[in-house]
Amino acid sequence: MAGRLGVGASRLLSLAGVVALIGVLPWLSGRSPELSVLRARSAEQEATPEALASIRADLGLDRGPLALLRSWSGGVLRGDLGTSWVSGTPVGPGTLTALGVSLTLMGLAVVVAAAVAAALCAPALRRAVQGSPGRPSGVAGAALVALPEFLLASVLLVVGAVWLGWFPPYGWDGLHSAVLPALALGLPAGGLVGRLLADAVTAASTERWVLTWQVSGASAGQLVRALLRRTLPALTTQVALVLVGLTGGAVAVEQVFAVPGLGRLTLGAAESQDLPALQAAVLVLLALSAVLGTAAGALRVLLLGRAVRTGTVPVAEPVRTWRRRDRVLPGVCLALLAGTVLAGIGRDPLTSAHPRLAPPSWALPLGADASGRDLLARVAHGAVDTVGTAVLVTAASLLVGLLVGLLPRASVGPVEVANAAPPVIVGVLVAAVAGSSLAGAAVAVLLVSWAPVAAHVAAATGEVRASAHVRVLPVLGVGPAAVTWRHVVPAVLGPVTRNAVLRLPGIALALAALGFLGLGPTPPTPEWGLLLAEGMPYVERAPWAVLAPTAALVTTSVLAVSLSGWSRARAPFHVEPRPAAPV
Amino acid sequence: MSAVLAAAGLERTHPGTRPRPWARRERHRALRGVDLQLAPGERLGLVGRSGSGKSTLLRCLLALDVPDAGTVHCDGRPVRPGRAPGLRWFRRRVQYVPQDPASTLDPRMTVGALVAEPLRALAVPDDHRAAVATALRRVRLDPALTDRRPGELSGGQAQRVALARALAPAPEVLLADEPVSGLDLAVRRQVVELLGDLSAEGGLALLLVSHDLSVVSRLCPRTVVLDDGVVVEDRATGALLADPHHPATRALVAAVPRLPA
Amino acid sequence: MITSTDTAGSALEVTDLVVSVGGTRLLHGVDLVVPAGSRTALVGASGSGKSLTAGAVLGRLPAGAVATGSVRVAGEEVLGVPAARRAAATRVAAVAQDPLAALNPLVTVGAQLATPLRRRAGLRGSAVRARALELLAAVGLADPERVLRSVPGELSGGQRQRVCTAIALAARAGLLVADEPTTALDLVTQAQVVDVLREHTRGSALLFVTHDVAVAAALCDRVAVLCGGRVVEQGPAGELVGAPASDHLRELVTAARAAA
């Protein structure tokens, strides 16, 4: 009872904390926004101290965080989302229009995702009904659909709009223009959900009741319905997280295809330091996540029926198969990346010593970019920047996750909030407060990447504490602190570290996504996401300027996905990439 | 003769599940006023069906659970669950052999470290190495096994390591919870004989908890039958087997599978 | 030693069954007969290959297992055919050690019991419910109405084991395989489940897998002794327990008599 109350309090406090953070965003902002507001309002007014002070007073920046929070939350409760610092008009109507566009796009993406997920899980269902459950979903097939949205959007834009010319490259004008954005957003989400579903169905189909039902003469339809009902409750939370994650993906996709949705609005507000617009957009995104999370919880209770009250629904044991050749794919990716770094690390990434957009040649194996810089050198140095930062972020998230995860009940709320927050949205907020930089991007990724580690630590320590050799310790006279530090932590440290290291490529991709959106390091840093963004305008004249960073990022994505499959097959304490926490 | 471990009027109610989401929780009365006396060096059997309250009683006797009413005394001192240092005197006197003892050995620790664990945790002042060697000798284990890990032991050896760990602080009382259920008959016989020898050699009091009367009858001169949270019989084991008074006892006696002669 | 039996009316006939898992041979040619209407016990210590034999009969061998030889249910070869692809007459009903896993945790007992009554027994409408209540009462469940509404998590271990037995009976399979169904239960519940199996398997054959000779002798009319992946002895229960021919059975009988 006390445990449930603790969990509830933790959730409530975390949510209140996030809302308060959004409310005091203008106060948090370290970059004095009055100058940019002045510039935006009138081009000719002099930036005198008096003019700046009057703007500060106008914006209420000197009133302190509590007063800011009070006036902002009061406005929100009255339905007033604030006034734009840039245009001076209310931000509410624009936010709602953008929300409509984004919801339409996300709806179409959900259709795409549902189709992909159904296609991926159909073979597992067929095998289960035929009584020959096979191994879980293949890694290679899933890797193609698990590319990050910004990369897939760029590839689709190049192939579908520029080369084939089937679809418009940008804009929001009817269904035709929504096809590519919906694909870019829906394919990765469907790939992830389909993979989780197929693995869960495979695990559930090895449970003994399936045999009981088959001997009872249950029809194929009955069995499929029972299997889906058996697997879906455990996945509702993860599906909700994938849907919430669409909001983060929408930022990149809307930016690439110039769709006037909430994501693009958020990004624009961060760039122009229009904090009221940003506050409104992020608040709407948060409300959307809350609605989705609640709906997922309600759906879960509905699916579980009576069984939810007994609290004894066994979790299907995941099928763990591990073949030698599963090592080949990550091995090849690692070798490719290492080879590129070795070949290019000795070259100069910053000097414009070559013809602009020079094609690949023996001297310039990957060609040159629009400023005449060596692309091989830039990709190789970018690997060091991106992966080096990712290593630091991984180490920090391991430390934070370990400490927080040791308090399983108190950490539920923060873990859920951080888990649900897409790194891109957090990156936008951090950039709005502190400006765009590599350090800012690293902090933004760290703010979300500790959560899966903490969830893993909480699950693994729970498992270790439940094991017979730890439960016996109190009777032997071992106190709670000694149980934690002498027995539990040493047991989980190895698996948790291994799992955190396997997340490293994913963290590198998140950093690249921020770089691509201009929320990371500034030019001329050779960061991968930035390289891709710089090459996009020249994709028709010089496809190699896009191909080089794309190839590096695709290789990293494949590495990330194949390693995540590896960790699921090997980890003694099994936790899904985005674990389900609520009960 | 004063009791080394005594329980008086123990009551304990567990919250159950809700039959409907809006309904009150069903309450399950696991113990309804249980008295129990264990004399020094005595071997006492505690039998009952699963759900009869055996486990709850054991948890209360081990100061792992707080009874709603009633007391537990050890050597005349009251025993209350609390912080580990305050209970050291009690844990040195009363030790525990869990169900499936082999599974309670941390696979990453050596036999020596495992057996020394209670000595360290209870801050026993004696020489730990000597105490470990003594404990291993008492359970008839070769001291050469000290550096092995549980994975390198046979099933019977692992059972005895768990027993040696309980014996290391030289307790006066051993509480054994279904120590042989799930074991092959051959290993089962070894463990039962060892428990009998230990009790006879060292004057160790033994409380043997089981749902199987045949195990209890081989070791314990006196048996307590627990049914639905109440002690329904407390008599000499032979008399109890020959002439069970209570229906629960009769069911337990009848349930022991016997081969036709 | 293998007793020659007239196998014309066998519910189950296992001949020279060899199973390897991951390259290790675990069953070395098992020969086993369960005559129609008989209750046969398969007795062996842990690691003797009991569960693997039961798995081959049920059509659920562990992943990576390779099986050769012959398993005939009601005269038809079923080795290597998963349960879902077997003809209705050769599907084998199962009662397992862990009855919670053998029932769908999200579906009420009533719904799980209705499927075999509709599909196998061909009942319709109110007859389904009436027969379900009858079966639950027959396996000794005190409040069949309440059990029918419950999901498996709301029942005790002994109650779940009886529900599994009721579903197996409702499926009207010619052969029921019970793999250590009483190991996780206390002795009183074990005795009750054994009674239920004795009373209600009169119409079909039973293969009862156990490590306990005493329980086997109490329930079954025939006993087969498995040791090291081979059947070392099989025949009528009374004869075998009274005068064990193999060393292994003699040890098991001695240990059981000493324990009682």
pLDDT in tens, C184-239: 778 888 888 888 888 877 778 899 998 888 888 888 999 999 988 888 888 898 88
Question: Does residue B155 sit within a domain?
Answer: yes
Measured between beta carbons, the chain A residues lying within 8 angstroms of C153 are 307, 310-313
With CA atoms as reference, the chain A residue closest to C114 would be A216
Q: Is B138 on the interface with C (CB under 8 A)?
A: no
Place of tokens 């566009």: A101
Q: How far is A494 from chain B (nearest CA, A)?
A: 12
Q: How far is A500 from chain B (nearest CA, A)?
A: 22
Question: Does residue B87 sit within a domain?
Answer: no
With CA atoms as reference, the chain B residue closest to C195 would be B255
Chains with 3+ CB–CB pairs under 8 A to C are: A, B
List, as one string, the DSSP characters of C59-85.
Answer: T-PPTTEEEEEEEEETTEE-TT--GGG
Size of interface B-C (CB pairs under 8 A): 68
Measured between beta carbons, the chain B residues lying within 8 angstroms of A491 are 108
Residue B201 pLDDT > 90: no
Output the average pLDDT for chain A. Answer: 79
Does residue A108 sit in helix, strand or coil? helix
Task: Look at residue A579 in the predicted model and tell me its pLDDT.
Answer: 29
Q: Is B213 on the interface with C (CB under 8 A)?
A: yes
Task: List the beta bridge partners of residue B185.
Answer: none
Please give the average per-residue pLDDT across A400-412, as a whole number. 82
Of chain A residues 127-186, which have a CB less than 8 A from chain C?
129-132
ipTM of the complex: 0.85
Domain count, chain A: 3
Q: Is A226 on the interface with C (CB under 8 A)?
A: yes
Please give the average per-residue pLDDT across A2-15, as a whole number. 72
C205 φ/ψ angles, rounded to the nearest 5 degrees = -90, 155
Task: Tell me, yes or no, whether A304 and A157 share the same domain.
Answer: yes
Q: How far is A464 from chain B (nearest CA, A)?
A: 10
Measured between beta carbons, the chain B residues lying within 8 angstroms of C154 are 17
Q: Is B156 on the interface with A (CB under 8 A)?
A: no
Q: How far apart are CA C70 and CA A81, in angstroms?
A: 76
Please give the average per-residue pLDDT across C241-245, as a whole number. 86
Tell me how crowded residue B107 is: count the other CB atoms within 10 A of its CB. Answer: 11
Q: How far apart are CA A203 and CA A322, in angstroms?
A: 15
Task: Tell me, yes or no, whether A186 and A287 share the same domain.
Answer: yes
**Residue A290, domain CATH:** 1.10.3720.10
Q: How far is B236 from chain C (nearest CA, A)?
A: 18
Q: How far is C251 from chain A (nearest CA, A)?
A: 32
Q: Which of A308, A333, A368 is the last residue of a domain?
A: A308
Burial B63-100 (b: 16+ CB within 10 A, else e): bebebeebebbbbeeebebeebeebbebbbbbbbbbbb
> Measuring CA to CA, which residue among A581, A396, A379 is closest to residue A504?
A396
Q: Is C253 on the interface with B (CB under 8 A)?
A: yes
Domain count, chain B: 1
Q: Is B28 on the interface with A (CB under 8 A)?
A: no
Name which of B186, B188, B255 is nearest C190 (Cβ-Cβ): B255
Return the minimum-mean-pLDDT range out of A258-262, A274-278, C126-130.
Answer: A274-278
Residues in A whose CB is inside 8 Å of some CB of B read 1, 309-311, 468-480, 482, 487, 490-491
Q: Which of A275, A292, A308 is the last residue of a domain?
A: A308
Task: Tell me, yes or no, whether A101 and A55 share the same domain.
Answer: no
Query: Is there a contact between C2 and C231 (Cβ–Cβ < 8 Å)?
Result: yes
* Cβ <8 Å between C103 and A212: yes
* Cβ <8 Å between C188 and B211: yes
* Cβ <8 Å between A217 and C171: yes
* Cβ <8 Å between A130 and C116: no
pLDDT tens per residue across span B2-24 = 789 999 999 998 876 666 666 67
Instruction: Residue B107: give the domain boundaries.
Output: 101-171
Question: Does residue B96 sit within a domain?
Answer: no
Task: Tell me, yes or no, whether A61 and A101 share the same domain.
Answer: no
Measured between beta carbons, the chain C residues lying within 8 angstroms of A213 are 104, 112, 115
Residue B94 pLDDT > 90: yes
Q: Is B165 on the interface with A (CB under 8 A)?
A: yes
- The three-point CA angle A90-A96-A98 to 5° equals 105
pLDDT tens per residue across span A63-120 = 777 777 787 778 778 877 777 777 777 888 888 888 888 889 999 999 998 998 888 8
- HSE, side-chain direction, 13 A CA sphere, residue A66: 0
With CA atoms as reference, the chain C residue closest to B52 would be C186
CA B241 centroid distance within chain: 22
Query: Would strands B205-210 and C222-227 be described as parallel, antiparallel, or unpaired?
Result: unpaired
Task: Tell me, yes or no, whether A124 and A256 share the same domain.
Answer: yes
Q: How far apart are CA B197 and CA B233, in angstroms?
A: 27
- For a pLDDT cut of 70, what percent of chain A falls above it? 86
Task: Look at residue A31 in the predicted model and tell me its pLDDT.
Answer: 59
- Multiple choice CATH, C10-92+175-259, 3.40.50.2300, 3.30.390.50, 3.40.50.300, 3.30.1330.60: 3.40.50.300
Question: Does residue B124 sit within a domain?
Answer: yes
Task: Look at residue C7 in the predicted model and tell me its pLDDT.
Answer: 45
Chains with 3+ CB–CB pairs under 8 A to B are: A, C
Task: Tell me, yes or no, whether A131 and A200 share the same domain.
Answer: yes
Q: Residue C5: which pLDDT band, with cuts at 50, 70 and 90? A: very low
Query: Is there a contact between C225 and C249 (Cβ–Cβ < 8 Å)?
Result: yes
Burial A223-260 (b: 16+ CB within 10 A, else e): bbebbbbbbbbbbbbbbbbbbbbbbbbbbbbbbbbebb
Selected for mutation to probe chain B from C188, C208, C250 (highest B CB count within 10 Å) is C188
A197 φ/ψ angles, rounded to the nearest 5 degrees = -65, -45
Q: How far is B156 from chain C (nearest CA, A)?
A: 14
Residue C3 pLDDT > 50: no
**Alpha-carbon distances, residue C242 vs B260, C3, C4, C235 (angstroms):** 8, 16, 20, 12
pLDDT tens per residue across span C9-30 = 788 999 999 988 877 888 888 9
Place of tokens 């080795």: C79
Measured between beta carbons, the chain B residues lying within 8 angstroms of A468 are 98, 100, 103-104
pLDDT tens per residue across span A248-270 = 888 888 888 888 888 888 888 88
With CA atoms as reference, the chain C residue closest to A222 would be C115
Alpha helix positions (H), A467-543: 468-471, 473-476, 480-482, 489-502, 504-516, 528-535
* Cβ <8 Å between A309 and B18: yes
Does residue B31 sit in helix, strand or coil? strand
Task: Tell me, yes or no, whether A108 and A60 share the same domain.
Answer: no
Measured between beta carbons, the chain C residues lying within 8 angstroms of A314 are 100-101, 105
Name which of C154, C215, C255 is nearest B185 (Cβ-Cβ): C255
* Cβ <8 Å between A476 and B107: no
Question: Does residue B58 sit within a domain?
Answer: no
Please give the average per-residue pLDDT across A387-411, as a whole number. 87
Task: Tell me, yes or no, whether A50 and A122 share the same domain.
Answer: no
* Cβ <8 Å between C153 and A307: yes
Please give the average per-residue pLDDT across A121-140, as a whole number. 72
pLDDT tens per residue across span B119-174 = 998 888 888 899 999 999 988 888 888 898 888 887 788 888 999 999 999 899 99
Q: Is A396 on the interface with C (CB under 8 A)?
A: no
Q: Is C158 exposed, middle or buried (0-12, 13-18, 19+ CB in 10 A)?
A: buried
Question: Does residue B70 sit within a domain?
Answer: no
Question: Does residue A434 sit within a domain?
Answer: yes
Task: Look at residue B221 in the predicted model and tell me its pLDDT.
Answer: 93
Please give the average per-residue pLDDT across A131-149, as a whole number. 61
Q: Is B182 on the interface with C (CB under 8 A)?
A: yes
A578 vs B52, residue with greater confidence: B52
Output the average pLDDT for chain C. Answer: 84
Name which of A213, A307, A321 is nearest C151 (Cβ-Cβ): A307
Residue A48 pLDDT > 50: yes
Residue A454 pLDDT > 80: yes
Does residue A272 sit in helix, strand or coil? coil
pLDDT tens per residue across span A142-201 = 555 557 788 888 888 888 877 787 888 777 777 778 888 898 888 888 888 888 888 888
Measured between beta carbons, the chain B residues lying within 8 angstroms of C212 are 257
Q: Is B84 on the interface with A (CB under 8 A)?
A: yes
Q: How far is C80 from chain A (nearest CA, A)?
A: 10
Question: Does residue A127 sit within a domain?
Answer: yes
Q: How far apart are CA A269 and CA B224, in angstroms?
A: 77
Place of tokens 């050690």: C97
The one-character DSSP state at C155 is S
Question: Does residue B243 sit within a domain?
Answer: no
A520 φ/ψ angles, rounded to the nearest 5 degrees = -115, -140
pLDDT tens per residue across span B45-83 = 999 887 788 888 999 999 988 899 999 999 989 988 878
Question: Does residue B122 sit within a domain?
Answer: yes
Measured between beta carbons, the chain B residues lying within 8 angstroms of A479 are 83-85, 121
Instruction: Residue A479: give the domain boundaries.
Output: 385-542+565-570
Helices A220-257, A92-129: crossing angle, 10 deg rounding: 140
With CA atoms as reference, the chain B residue closest to C215 would be B257
> Measuring CA to CA, which residue among A106, A39, A549 is closest to residue A274?
A39
Q: Is B96 on the interface with A (CB under 8 A)?
A: yes
Task: Look at residue A315 in the predicted model and tell me its pLDDT.
Answer: 55
Query: Is there a contact between A22 and A283 (Cβ–Cβ < 8 Å)?
Result: yes
The one-character DSSP state at A217 is T
Q: How far is B224 from chain A (nearest CA, A)?
A: 23
Measured between beta carbons, the chain B residues lying within 8 angstroms of C238 are 260
Q: Which of A77, A111, A142 is the last residue of a domain?
A: A77
Measured between beta carbons, the chain A residues lying within 8 angstroms of B122 are 476-477
Cis peptide before A524 (omega within 30 of 0): yes
Name which of C183, C190, C241 is nearest B260 (Cβ-Cβ): C241
